[in-house]
A and B are shown apart, each in its own frame.
Chain A
Amino acid sequence: MTFALTISPSDLLLLLPEILLTLWLCLILIIDFSFPRLRNEQLAFFSIAGLAATLGCLAWFDIADITGSLFGNMFVLDGMALFFKMFIVGSTILVVLSSIDFIHRFKFFRGEFYFLVVMSALGMMFMASANDLLSVFVALEFSTLGLYVLVSYLREDMASNEAGVKFFILGIFAAALLAYGISLVYGETGKLVFSDMTSAQATPGLAIGFLLIFAALGFKIGAVPFHSWIPDTYHGSPTPVTAFLSIAPKGAAFAILLRMFFVSLATFKPVWILLLVATSILSMTYGNIVAIAQKNMKRLLAYSGIAQIGNVLIGLATGTKMGSDAMLFYLLTYLFANLGAFAVVIAVSEAIGSDEINDYSGLGRRSPFLAFSMLIFLLSLAGVPPLAGFIGKLYIFVAAVKEGLYLLITVGLINVVISMYYYLIVVKKMYVTEPHDRSPLKVSGSIKAVVYVCLAGTLAIGIYPQPVTDWVVSAIMMFSQLADPTASLPVPPAVVPFGG
């Protein structure tokens, strides 16, 4: 296989956001060591400026409808890639903004923190565009490399170091699975680019290969049974990094999952529906039930995140355009509610130095703003109208109803109820339980900004979802042939046992 690498200026244009961010990355590093006295906020705002410029550039691409593919289809820029890139860059901006207060806890290399965050984001942007197995592998490892360091950034803290080592070892393990899966798939089909594999024959070797790739991606999104790294890593990481881990890499991994399942695995549809139904049910049930027993806010959000990913997988399991629309929508609502909740956790931990749920007692009196915001975010995660999370769940379930996935819906609805229980335990702590200490909490401006943005997003999408639905529907027009799955896909004789 040979690549003819001729890059024209118009090709470079497609890479403009990535190039911009790469240059900015170098600038961050140079500025950091050239001006050692520079305050952290200044570097943070400098990073945010670069990310914002990238976001603006992506938005321009989206509006001007600039799309295309590069390097023999290894790198594609389409509506979906743009959606996920904006998703990644947007969440990175919020994470950097909420890390400003936290940064003083790092003893060394504060400047590199921003460098590493932005570098990971850059890697994830490549993941969103990756269109063949090799670029998937490279982009995925590129983005994860920075995360390994970020997780163990609290060098004095044993928990952080432990989390880093665990994440590293398991991450390498997942990478090995990915590489093994890729080699099996390439061996069976002789193809690397997703869109070339559409006619691949369903052989056991191929099935195992895809299963291994799915395991590696399932590791990234934290779906049961590949979730095991999540609780400890979330718990031990510096909280802004936890927030980053909980949203950006998942978005990027879902971009790859969507391309892989919806483009190249058409012949395997009955297999992967089964696979996704199983992982979705496991994730929702396991995440929600174990979340009940949690005493630490970060661990609670970790398990709740596992359950939320189970919900997103319902959308993937439908295998239809509507399901993928609902997925994108759901991820966006999850971004706001989840990052908002983490921002509140950061603010509280800055003020009282604890992430234990018990220490949230009486938060409603100590900081009505934080408590109310947390209430809104938790209710949105639980899916209460008129918040964004409700509409997201509704779309996901409606998409599943259309495909007759009644088992998934039943399990999903039961899980919604279970999740209400532990979300409301936190609410009860905040509003009903008397605080041990009544002193009001101070909240810094940057955290407030993050909370406000997330509140606005959660409320606005809930009350006026149409622009967002229009956006997600148009972002993945390429799957519109899946609107009626029976029309475009051959239905194999073995019927999915879970179908209605």
Chain B
Amino acid sequence: MTDLLIKLIPLFPLLAVILNGLVGRRYSHEVAHRLAWGSVGLSFLCTISVFVDILRTGTPHEVIAYQWIFGGDLTINLAYLVDPLTCIMLLVVTGVGFLIHVYSVGYMHGEEGFTRFFTYMNLFMVSMLLLVMGNNYVVLFIGWEGVGLCSYLLIGYYYDKVSAAKAASKAFVVNRIGDAGFLLAIFLIFINFKTLDYTKVFAQVSELSPEMATAIALCLLVGAVGKSAQLPLYTWLPDAMEGPTPVSALIHAATMVTAGVYMIVRNHAIFDLSTTAMTVVGIIGGLTALFAATIGLVQTDIKRVLAYSTVSQLGYMILGCGIGAYTAAIFHLMTHAFFKALLFLSAGSVIHALSGEQDIRKMGGLSSKIPWTYRLFLVGTIAIAGIPPLAGFWSKDEILAHAFTHDHYLLYGMAAIGAFLTSFYMFRLIYLTFYGASRMDHHAEEHVHESSTVMVGPLMALGVLSILGGFMGFPPEHGWIHEFLAPVAGVGEGHDASTGLVLTLMMIATGIALLGWGLAHYFYSVNSSMPDRLAAQFQAAYATLLNKYYVDELYDLIWVEPLKKLGYLLDWFDRNVIDGLVRAVAQLADLAAAGSTWLEKYVIYSGLNVIGYGNHLAARQWRQLQSGMVHHYAAIIVAGLFLLAVIIQLFMQL
């Protein structure tokens, strides 16, 4: 029964993709969106039932949907592995995915290409489900590429907008760099283990040499860095905000970008073998968490602030992986999915209310006009800032505490500063958007309205999850989620920190978050001229942050432009040298083909004529008679027979 349900989970959205994609134009938008969210809802129900089963029995399920290719050493199955880790991912993907699909019905209402949007969204769900459910690296990779493709399609959803089209190709290209690393890792794994199934790989992982483990782990990390937008490949994610807001919430906050984290946790057995790789993972995570948070301080686009905060929070998860706090990383992944989806969708609701305005400098004083959106945005902000007892606090604090108790003081420092900055820029967003005097356009101000129930409903559900979600990990290190994930994520080393230390760390974390809130309150509510003065005083620093450390420009300078030039060069080379060669080869092939036909026509036949009938003239006459060639055909058969007989005679002494 459970096996069947597992097979059904990705099938429902796939069915919706096929229906909406092929015949979606024939029926109304109503039918299309019902199919879309209905299918995801059914997947969610199946997931719950599978989850309950695993909760009760505790045994993972491995289901082969079907065998695709077999032969030699290589067997590729479309097979699923549902263990506690996959369960959590499935719940997040289908649950949050379902809410976002429902929300999209309201948000995308009246947009051109409504059905196309839902087709892509469902296709994304299928790929994401394959990604988290696969029992081998090939299925993981298929899902990995699939979500990348859907991300590309959805970022470029408004394809007539130049910036959207550019952002889409940027996301695709940058992700390809990561994919290359990932693919390399898969090849290395196959070479070393002669299989690509997780269970078989992890069963013999201890035979791996440390060097090879480091190589594989680093290649995997490159993949994760690309997909999870870590330094130095994070630049695509902020630009990806060109897509519709539900896309940002689903793909670029809650699910796809966390695939890298999932992949590292899934492969933690390989990472555990290499201290070097673990250190690199931790440092990349810590740096990203801090780096992205600083950029977030000064951004003025509501979605870009959230995008940098996503990069920063993903940094926390990767950091968690780097210090071996896998459960904490997955826990943070889950709570982050709740509150970040909530924040994005609320931001979408704000943008919707303001008829498309995204610049926070043109907002202000919205708290009374869109009260529900405001309240829910506040819940999300408190959750991400890490103020207890909301979800973000428990998961983030656990990563911080783990770093401290396992002597990663540098990483702890980075993460703590990052947490302070997070709290600051998030409350800055609250103050600029919802408080103070209105700075809106008159035109926009007249139309401000609270969003429809279909949009606020999912927000409320996410709000509840953002408030209560953290208690799955309570008490820290011994919560329900830790027990549930223990079989897959491994149990941390035994030395438990004393309760006193844990409480102190919690208090520090809370203090940091409150400090950030306080500073934001002071800057943007009490003394609102302060930020401008500071910006004027530290102009260079401000400009650097505003321009995102000029990383995009730097990449343009050192990669994109030279590559473009190289491209032009190669294009020239291609057109003048390679094409010339290809043409020559093609002509040769043509020549060979013409030659064999010619050979057949004139040499063989005429040769046979000469042998058989003495002159060539006869052949022409017979050809006119249309039946003369039969003799030649028969002669060819006889000649062939002799040839084969000679071959046999030569090689076999009969």
Chain A residues near B (Cβ < 8 Å): 158, 162, 165-166, 169-170, 173-174, 177, 202-204, 207-208, 211-212, 214-215, 219, 224-226, 228-229, 232, 270-271, 274-275, 278-279, 286, 289-293, 391, 394-395, 398-399, 401-402, 418, 421, 463-466, 469, 494, 496-497
B632 at the interface (CB under 8 A from A): yes
Is B68 a contact of A170 with CB atoms below 8 Å? no
Is B597 a contact of A293 with CB atoms below 8 Å? yes
Is A232 a contact of B629 with CB atoms below 8 Å? yes
Is B627 a contact of A204 with CB atoms below 8 Å? no
Is A166 a contact of B629 with CB atoms below 8 Å? yes
Chain B residues near A (Cβ < 8 Å): 66-72, 586, 589-590, 592-594, 596-597, 600, 626-627, 629-630, 632-634, 636-637, 639-641, 643-645, 647-648, 651-654
Is B653 a contact of A494 with CB atoms below 8 Å? yes
The listed residue (A204, A291, A421) touching B654 by CB distance below 8 A is A204
Can you list 18 A-B pairs with a CB-CB distance of less than 8 A? A162-B627, A169-B634, A170-B630, A170-B637, A207-B648, A226-B637, A278-B644, A290-B596, A292-B589, A293-B594, A391-B69, A395-B71, A418-B589, A464-B66, A465-B67, A466-B67, A469-B70, A494-B651
The listed residue (B72, B637, B651) touching A225 by CB distance below 8 A is B637
A394-B69 contact in complex given A166-B627, A289-B596, A497-B651, C-beta closer than 8 Å: yes
Is A465 a contact of B68 with CB atoms below 8 Å? yes
Is B648 a contact of A219 with CB atoms below 8 Å? no
Is A275 a contact of B590 with CB atoms below 8 Å? no
Interface of A, helix, strand, loop or mixed by DSSP: helix
Give min CB distance, B130 to chain A, whole Å.
14
* Beta-carbon nearest neighbor of B634 in chain A: A173
The listed residue (B71, B72, B632) touching A228 by CB distance below 8 A is B632
Q: Considering the chains assembled together, what is the distance between the CA atoms of A72 and B388 in angstroms?
A: 89
Is B648 a contact of A211 with CB atoms below 8 Å? yes
Is B651 a contact of A274 with CB atoms below 8 Å? yes
Is A158 a contact of B626 with CB atoms below 8 Å? yes
Give min CB distance, A216 to chain B, whole Å.
10
Given contacts A212-B641, A225-B640, A229-B633, 6 further A-B contacts (CB under 8 A): A158-B626, A166-B629, A170-B630, A177-B641, A274-B652, A290-B600
Highest count of chain A CB atoms <10 Å: which of B586, B636, B641, B648? B648
- B residues less than 8 Å from A226 (CB atoms): 637, 640
- B residues less than 8 Å from A292 (CB atoms): 589-590, 593
Is B641 a contact of A215 with CB atoms below 8 Å? yes
Is B630 a contact of A169 with CB atoms below 8 Å? yes
Is A211 a contact of B590 with CB atoms below 8 Å? no
A466-B69 contact in complex given A166-B633, A494-B653, C-beta closer than 8 Å: no
Q: Considering the chains assembled together, what is the distance between the CA atoms of A169 and B629 in angstroms?
A: 11
Q: Considering the chains assembled together, what is the distance between the CA atoms of A212 and B597 in angstroms?
A: 27
Is A494 a contact of B652 with CB atoms below 8 Å? yes
Q: Considering the chains assembled together, what is the distance between the CA atoms of A293 and B587 in angstroms?
A: 12
Is B647 a contact of A275 with CB atoms below 8 Å? yes
- B residues less than 8 Å from A465 (CB atoms): 67-69
A293-B593 contact in complex given A274-B647, A279-B644, A465-B68, C-beta closer than 8 Å: yes
- B residues less than 8 Å from A208 (CB atoms): 645
A271-B648 contact in complex given A173-B637, A212-B641, A398-B72, C-beta closer than 8 Å: yes
6 tightest Cβ-Cβ pairs between the two chains A and B: A225-B640, A398-B71, A228-B633, A292-B593, A293-B593, A228-B636
Q: Considering the chains assembled together, what is the distance between the CA atoms of A215 and B71 in angstroms?
A: 32
Give min CB distance, A328 to chain B, whole Å.
15
Is B637 a contact of A203 with CB atoms below 8 Å? no
- B residues less than 8 Å from A286 (CB atoms): 596
Is A228 a contact of B652 with CB atoms below 8 Å? no
Q: Considering the chains assembled together, what is the distance between the CA atoms of A162 and B632 in angstroms?
A: 15
The listed residue (B68, B600, B630) touching A165 by CB distance below 8 A is B630
* Beta-carbon nearest neighbor of A399 in chain B: B71
- B residues less than 8 Å from A399 (CB atoms): 71
- B residues less than 8 Å from A401 (CB atoms): 72
Is A215 a contact of B652 with CB atoms below 8 Å? no
* Beta-carbon nearest neighbor of A470 in chain B: B67
Give min CB distance, A217 to chain B, whole Å.
12
The listed residue (B67, B636, B654) touching A202 by CB distance below 8 A is B654
Is B589 a contact of A421 with CB atoms below 8 Å? yes
Q: Considering the chains assembled together, what is the distance between the CA atoms of A170 and B592 in angstroms?
A: 28
* Beta-carbon nearest neighbor of B640 in chain A: A225
- B residues less than 8 Å from A169 (CB atoms): 630, 634
- B residues less than 8 Å from A466 (CB atoms): 66-68
Q: Considering the chains assembled together, what is the distance between the CA atoms of A232 and B593 in angstroms?
A: 18
Is A278 a contact of B647 with CB atoms below 8 Å? yes
- B residues less than 8 Å from A162 (CB atoms): 626-627
- A residues less than 8 Å from B630 (CB atoms): 165-166, 169-170
